[in-house]
Amino acid sequence: MRSVVGRRTRTAAAAVAVSLLPTPASAVDDTTPPVVDSVTFQPTTPTVHSAIAFAATAHDTESGIASLTWTFGDGGSAVGPSVSHTYAQSGTMTVTVTAVDLAGNTATATAAVPVSAFQPEPSYTEPTVSRLEVRPATISLEGRTAGVRRRASVSFRLSDIDDTTRLSVEVRGTTARTRFIFDAVDDGGDHVLRLSTLPGARSGLGLLPGRYRVIVRAANRYGVAKARAPLRIVR
């Protein structure tokens, strides 16, 4: 019996202690509403069925902020400084944020959210090839020409926001040519291809001495782009 009485006594004491906690004087005397500093959302041009990230900041110099509550203009609501919401219908939605301080004072702020029905159409463009350069512009087939190397680098810049699906580098003469093809190239930027006249080289030319053109060709489903630079092969 003593152990049962002891547990009851401790529970009652705890309840009394909680009930006697003082209310902060700042909250009792606070009659000034809080201030909602900002209401933002991303993306700024959302579409239906896509998640929108909302954020709000508020302050209260007397008692502090107790909560931030959101209504999204379509019957939805949320609580917190950072929330997410998805709209099922298009239109300009009025989002309302309510800030409540510890004294119960409130303040509201609104934001107009333009929700589109469909994703915007992408920009359909053909690729571009620029800054094509062959270094050195003269290479040796057999290494017989003093001071002339047997390797050259082909550098160029590829730009394509719609992803290039086929890229080729061709060394073309009047009677012969060599082509290197790269499928499914989807990264723009600077590219370099190493050419060589050495036997067994991975990017070997297999061409006789003469004057040639290096042609870089990039293609996607909207068009083709080409760039050309000279190359000479000597003995």
What are the residue ranges spanned by the domains of the chain?
Answer: 27-115, 128-234
Same fold, 27-115 and 128-234: yes
First to last CA, the chain: 112
Closest C-alpha among 99, 80, 91, 149 to residue 116: 91
Distance CA 163, CA 146 (A): 43
Whether the model clears a pTM of 0.85, i.e. scores above it, the answer is no
Provide the CA 99 distance to its chain's centre, in angstroms.
Answer: 32
110 vs 223, residue with greater confidence: 110
Query: d(Cα 221, Cα 217) in Å, to the nearest integer?
Result: 14
Vertex 172, ends 198 and 126: CA angle to 5°? Answer: 115
Q: What gap in Å lies between CA 33 and CA 101, rounded to an integer?
A: 7
- Mean of pLDDT values over 8-35: 52
pLDDT digits (tens, 9 = 90+) for 129-161: 999 999 999 999 998 899 999 999 999 998 887
Q: pLDDT class for 183, splitting at 50, 70, 90?
A: low
Element (H, E) at 17: helix 2-19
- Averaged pLDDT for residues 51-56: 97
Q: How far is CA 234 from the centre of its chain?
A: 48
Tokens at residue 44, please? 């700024």
Residue 33 and residue 10: Cα distance in Å, rounded? 40
Beta strands 138-140 and 223-234, pairing class? parallel
Percent of the chain with pLDDT strictly greater than 90 = 57
CATH code for the structural domain at 128-234? 2.60.40.10
CATH number 2.60.40.10 given to 27-115: yes
Q: What is the average pLDDT value for the chain, to the nearest integer?
A: 84
- The total of other beta-carbon atoms located within 10 Å of residue 170's CB is 17
According to DSSP, the β-strands at 128-135 and 151-159 are: antiparallel
E runs forming strands in 7-119: 35-42, 51-59, 65-71, 77-79, 82-86, 91-101, 106-115
* Per-residue pLDDT, 187: 61
CA-CA distance, 111 to 19, in Å (whole number)?
Answer: 41
